Amino acid sequence: MMVRMTIAALFMVGSAPALAAPADPLHSPMWEHHAARLFGKDSIVFDDRVAVHIPEIAENQRVFPVTVDARALPNVRRIVLFADLNPIPVAVDYAPTRAQPFLATRIKLDQRTPVRAAVQTQDGIWHVGGSWIDAAGGGCSAPPVSRVKGDWADHLGEVRGAQWLEKAGETRLRLTFRHPMDTGLVENIPAYNIERLTVRDASGKSLGEMQIFGSVAEDPAFTVVVKATGPIAFEARDSAGLEFPGKVGA
């Protein structure tokens, strides 16, 4: 089992003073707070090699696509995707165990906010990229569509998967889960979300592991590039303890 400090643990760090965070080029009012909580005493640099691809306009604040591509960086061990001004800032904490430092998913936006990726390399340095996005707001505090329709339980845990050969020895994998991804910010609807996803090769070795939070969009989709070919297995678990295992490929 991979041992690493989770986001939850990082939020408990407080015994030693953190290094002063570098000045934020986006001038976010929450930057210093998040830098102290997420990165502790680690070094932080703003780095154009962390490419965060987002639309210019948030057409739907409940389903906002984000792609993080840090393949220009060597020896990546962790990717944290977060939105500064969301009530649940962190969306995904991804350890690309045997995968490229690439992640595409969809998140909720509660207001105008910077959307960032923090990528940690093996030397412990965090490389940060991102930009502001305008959003109408309410993405985290509106009920999921499946809750409004009332059919969420009929489709809970359904999974669609596909894979494509990226290049020799690598596979692009896309997984989509039916799940309401409740934030707990809607009256009378408690928090309920997929919280873990592990991808494995045919021999059972981990290719990548994610910690997932309620700010990921309803019916979450994840695209990664793993260093493996052939059948790929996955195991997801939600905050109620339900498990959603499966396999993609022959």
Q: What is the pLDDT of residues 186-212, one digit of tens each?
A: 988 999 999 999 999 999 999 999 999
* Domain definitions of the chain by residue range: 21-239
**Burial class of 34 by CB neighbour count within 10 A (0 to 12, 13 to 18, 19+):** buried
Mean pLDDT, the chain, whole residue set: 91
Look at 141 and 85; give whichever has higher pLDDT: 85
Owner of token pair 């509106």: 142
Q: What are phi and psi of 108, to 5 degrees?
A: -100, 150
pLDDT at 215: 97
Using pLDDT thresholds of 50, 70 and 90, give the confidence band for residue 17.
low
Task: Return the amino acid letter for 1.
Answer: M
pLDDT at 49: 98
Using pLDDT thresholds of 50, 70 and 90, give the confidence band for residue 219.
very high
pLDDT at 213: 98
pLDDT at 142: 74
Q: Does pLDDT of 10 surpass 90?
A: no
Kindly report, residue by residue over 98-132, the tens digit of the pLDDT: 999 999 999 999 999 999 999 999 999 999 999 99
Using CA atoms, how far residue 70 sits from 44, 80, 107, 147, in Å, is 15, 12, 19, 35
**H-helix or E-strand containing 33?**
helix 31-39
pLDDT at 79: 98
Q: Does residue 248 contact residue 234 with C-beta atoms inside 8 Å?
A: yes
Could you give the CA distance from residue 236 to residue 133 in angstroms, rounded to a whole number?
Answer: 30
Furthest C-alpha separation in the chain: 51
pLDDT at 120: 98
Alpha carbon distance, N-terminus to C-terminus of the chain = 26
pLDDT at 19: 63
Q: Does pLDDT of 140 surpass 90?
A: no
- Which alpha helices (DSSP H) does 49-179 contain, by range? 145-149, 152-155
Owner of token pair 């045997």: 98
Q: Does residue 116 contact residue 92 with C-beta atoms inside 8 Å?
A: no
Using DSSP, state whether 31 is helix, strand or coil.
helix
Q: Averaged over 150-179, what is the pLDDT?
A: 93
Angle at 232 between CA 227 and CA 236, to 5 degrees: 110
So what's the architecture of 21-239 in CATH?
Sandwich (2.60)
Q: Does pLDDT of 183 surpass 50?
A: yes
pLDDT at 146: 74
Sign of the CA dihedral running 178, 199, 226, 97: positive
Residues in the chain: 250
pLDDT at 5: 43
- Which alpha helices (DSSP H) does the chain contain, by range? 7-10, 31-39, 145-149, 152-155
Q: Which of 238, 222, 117 is nearest to 181 (CA)?
A: 238
Using pLDDT thresholds of 50, 70 and 90, give the confidence band for residue 137.
confident
Q: Does pLDDT of 235 surpass 50?
A: yes
Q: Does residue 75 contact residue 122 with C-beta atoms inside 8 Å?
A: yes
